[in-house]
Structure 1
């Protein structure tokens, strides 16, 4: 899209800079001017760059002063491009009209260590934007983004100021697997509303057994932290499921999907304005509050809690020393002889699936994968890591249980 826009502009002045740029007074890139900078850019604390033209930055960008565009113009393209990792840092204000990220060096091509503001369109081409604790991408009213893919997105947080609906171009990664997991909110009423959204593909320190009665299997693999930082207005929220990050048992029947939120004490179901779009793998609901969200289904069976103490079964070490070589849940087979159990890795893939048929000596998990999507197969023990499991007691009266275990080598 950006290439189409630029090709329509007659470039009448081209500058190529091959030394560090220090903006002492002011540096102005006018319309119809293309400037390419092949070394680090430094804007000093009393300096400023105004970009109304087309600025290509091939190395690091440090702004201690101001980076802006003219208020009366809808021009100014800043392109972070190249083949080496780029850092965007500095304490100064950085306000972009249009910005492109296109760096093919690595997946984590950009290190964002400051806040940047986007007024127009962000063009995602290549390179993940790794956001530090101090960094944030802030989208203002009128801002949009295109091209989000597993090659380019913001990892893992962004914020939006304004009264428009917006899709946050965020995602996360694990072990070189990069996945965008966008979030969409409906339009708030106030122009000054600030929404913060973060996505985390990891274990959450939350009790998954505390939930409303009609919530079944909860997605324990991915979480969206969504906050309205301005007021109490409630909006519609759209989440998606993904075959890489979302366990198949959660979305296998889209009609049973739900959005759930941790309210500080238990998981609750968002019940208003529900819309499920299976073709786009999305579900929408009006939120009843803010905090941590994820997906779940309503396959819940049973109304009572189990009598098993799961706290005694949270780790094992399959190293063939004859001690704790299998993941065993004491008393489970005796008290629930028809139990079923599934164990998932951190990608949401099933590594163990078992149905007990009145056996007093079940086939407990030995740490080797039964799944098709794991690299170790059934010959090698899975990596030392945290896994999560679901026990279906299969007696039509006891509620399923979800928990974590640690495979230790």
Structure 2
């Protein structure tokens, strides 16, 4: 029986490498596996009505033709690669147990409901998500610590980063560039004076979570406030049909771009999430808002700018340094920092390639001294 299964798998692989790969839908009715170092490239639609397991190999969606993934059985892949500028539509979920690598083109799902999604297991992560390649729809993830959902719409990556202390918490997230008040009406209340009507996120899950979302020029934050200290993450509470303040414990950036982190909440209690502003009399003024210097490091081992050095922190033993990427994902954290950061994350983060350092680009740093007595914040550029 084992020999028969092995032969059948080889026959399927031979079929996939033939000319029909480009010209017609691939249909799997049997038991297809991709073993160690194995690779399958799909250039047209997949109908999966059999078992499709990528135990330790790569399955890629390639080409220049729009196609879809359908069937009655969910494919469970190890590594997934997306390189199709015309996009791929998911009519069924796809599970990834190691890495989803985004190169060009989107994975699209229905935005009416979340049952068809890209599903990340607890050890899985993503690479390369950008405005040009992401999930335009829903992503599900089993989160034990932190995870960045690589979601957005047709034009922009608009990720949501989730952080939880509960083990193996399942969350599903999506993004819509639409006016949330068409479905979830807003009325001024004691907690929220106004909300952003350009965009909103959907987050599902029954465990407590803290989220980070970012705004850009398309968010038009300046249309609802002139003071980002007034900005908060807000959610439409299902039980009261009102928009509620979900907090803003970290606020970095300016009116043009930045990110904000919420307090902990249970997603299933809220139908939609976006940015809102507090009533004027509810805004707490920051203790000592200090703009720090902007830094550049080039961690190449030449002894020049290999480490992130903040000379001011040397005077304070009680300090905490946090570094975030441009999407608000915490990538480095240290108590009593002594200039040791050299571009390595130092954290187990599911959205970052664990075998390499942080990518070249712009990051934000926040250094808090004496329990938040004062805070320095600024930009850090990693040059590789």
1:270 to 225, 228, 246: 246
Q: Distance in 2 between matches of 1:287 and 1:142?
A: 23
Q: How many residues align?
A: 260
Give the corresponding residue for 1:61.
46
Mapped pair 1:295 → 2:269: no
Give the conservation status (yes or no) of the 8 Å contact 2:164–2:208: no
- Deviation at residue 160 of structure 1 after TM alignment: 0.7
Task: Give me the CA root mean square deviation.
Answer: 2.8
Structure 1 residues 40 and 142: alpha-carbon distance in aligned structure 2, compared to 1, 3 A threshold: farther
Mapped pair 1:137 → 2:122: no
What 5-or-longer segments of structure 1 have no aligned partner?
A: 1-22, 303-409
Q: Distance in 1 between matches of 2:199 and 2:41?
A: 36
Give the conservation status (yes or no) of the 8 Å contact 2:54–2:79: no
- Is the deviation greater in 204-213 or in 244-253? 244-253
Q: Distance in 1 between matches of 2:250 and 2:162?
A: 14
Structure 1 residues 77 and 48: alpha-carbon distance in aligned structure 2, compared to 1, 3 A threshold: closer
Q: Distance in 1 between matches of 2:41 and 2:54?
A: 15
| 3-state SS in 1 of match to 2:153 | strand
Q: More relative contact order in 1 or in 2 (CA 8 Å, sep 6+)? A: 2
Greater Rg over alpha carbons, structure: 1
- Deviation at residue 164 of structure 1 after TM alignment: 3.1
| 3-state SS in 2 of match to 1:170 | coil
Give the corresponding residue for 1:180.
157
Give the conservation status (yes or no) of the 8 Å contact 1:39–1:59: yes
Q: How does 1:195-206 map to 2 (within 5 A)?
A: 195-204=171-180, 205-206=183-184
- Deviations 1:159-191 (CA, angstroms, capped at 9, x unpaired): 112413111111124xxxx11210010134222
Give the conservation status (yes or no) of the 8 Å contact 1:59–1:86: yes
Q: TM-score, normalised by structure 2?
A: 0.61
- Deviation at residue 195 of structure 1 after TM alignment: 0.6
Give the corresponding residue for 1:79.
60
Mapped pair 1:47 → 2:31: yes
1:103 to 69, 77, 84: 84
Q: TM-score, normalised by structure 1?
A: 0.58
Structure 1 residues 199 and 211: alpha-carbon distance in aligned structure 2, compared to 1, 3 A threshold: farther
Structure 1 residues 149 and 246: alpha-carbon distance in aligned structure 2, compared to 1, 3 A threshold: farther
Larger relative helix fraction: 2
Structure 1 residues 27 and 250: alpha-carbon distance in aligned structure 2, compared to 1, 3 A threshold: farther
| 3-state SS in 2 of match to 1:120 | strand
Q: Distance in 2 between matches of 1:117 and 1:185?
A: 19
1:259 to 233, 243, 248: 233
Give the conservation status (yes or no) of the 8 Å contact 2:195–2:274: yes
- Deviation at residue 28 of structure 1 after TM alignment: 8.1
- Deviation at residue 207 of structure 1 after TM alignment: 2.3
